[in-house]
A and B are shown apart, each in its own frame.
Chain A
Amino acid sequence: MTERTNDDWIADLSSTSERQADALQDLQMRLQRGIYYYLSRERSDLSGLSSHELTQMAQDLAQDATLRVLDNLDSFRGDSLFTTWAARIAVRLAISDLRRTRYKNFSLDEITAEGDLLPLNANPVAGAPPVSPERAAERSDALDKINAALRSALTERQYQALIAHALRGVPLEVLADQMNTNRNALYKLLHDARRKLRATLEQQGLSPEYVMNLFRE
């Protein structure tokens, strides 16, 4: 792979000759290598895929990203290495693709039909030994308060967004699409919901330290 400066990348990718073809191939290989590295090391949800399948996935994503880079060459400002800027484009494209594939069957309608959010028993700590009756009662009381706060302190929209994002793991961009909003606005909505919940629970004597200690071990 040819070593290139930022200016070299721009010049080569902007040319119309064999230089451009070589640069495109180098860029795609570079992006594919990085995407594969991430998919194979950082994504436990993809651990069931074979090396060949991951390679194919990385190749497809890198191909799309390379074309996206080419289409956006004019917007490169030189604030970072060209290859970092290109990798950022690849990340945006790949992560969006991965998220939409993973949550393609998610519907916001499921949230309102859901029952109680948290187990309303006194010992929700998985695999933990039994606790004293006093501790169990404290936990049960705290869970009641958390469940009640989720129902009463939030608007329906905040509630849906919080449950979908926090408990179901639905990414912001997928959720934003379903809620007809954008990611920034959704982030703000969630932030407000979190602060409101925290204030509500603290008013009832549930401090972060108390809750963490209560359910530890």
Chain B
Amino acid sequence: MDDKLRVLIDLIFNTHLDTMIDCETCAKQFECLAELVAQGANTAELLPAVEEHIRCCRDCREEFEFLVAMLKADMLADSVNRNE
């Protein structure tokens, strides 16, 4: 499907309902949640409202993925240090 069309259809139909949380509320959960996700936990099982917001909000998703990536880098480095 054409990218522009796919993005638009996704945007229109893949939106959450009135139980949404905003970016600020979502971001408050990031630190604890990212620690668990970096260790393999599933966001949807831990905090469905945050998962729902991240699914629909590209900016929050990007920030959350950035944080998880940083924590994974720490875990990798710690693992290497332990094995040396």
Q: Which residues of A approach B to under 8 Å, CB–CB?
A: 1, 30-31, 33-38, 41-42, 79-81, 83-85, 87-88, 90-92, 94-95, 117-119, 124-126, 143, 146, 162, 165-167, 169, 171-173, 183-184, 187-188, 191, 194-195, 197-198, 201, 208, 211-212, 215-216
Contacts and interface: CB of A to CB of B under 8 A. Distances in A.
Interface in B12-33: 12-16, 20, 22-24, 30-32
Nearest to A80: B31
Given A184-B24, A215-B1, A216-B1, A90 B8 contact: no
Contacts of A42: 65-66, 69
6 contacts: A30-B74, A117-B4, A119-B2, A119-B5, A173-B59, A191-B20
Instruction: Tell me the interface secondary structure of chain A in the complex.
Output: helix
Interface residues of B, number: 41
Contact of A33 (B5, B6, B73): B73
A171 B81 CA distance: 37
B67 A87 contact: yes
B69 A194 contact: no
Interface of B: 1-9, 11-16, 20, 22-24, 30-32, 34-35, 57-59, 62-63, 65-67, 69-74, 76-77, 81
Contacts, number: 128
A84 B57 contact: no
Contacts of B74: 30, 33-34, 83, 87
A35 B11 CA distance: 29
B66 A38 contact: yes
B80 to A, nearest CB: 11
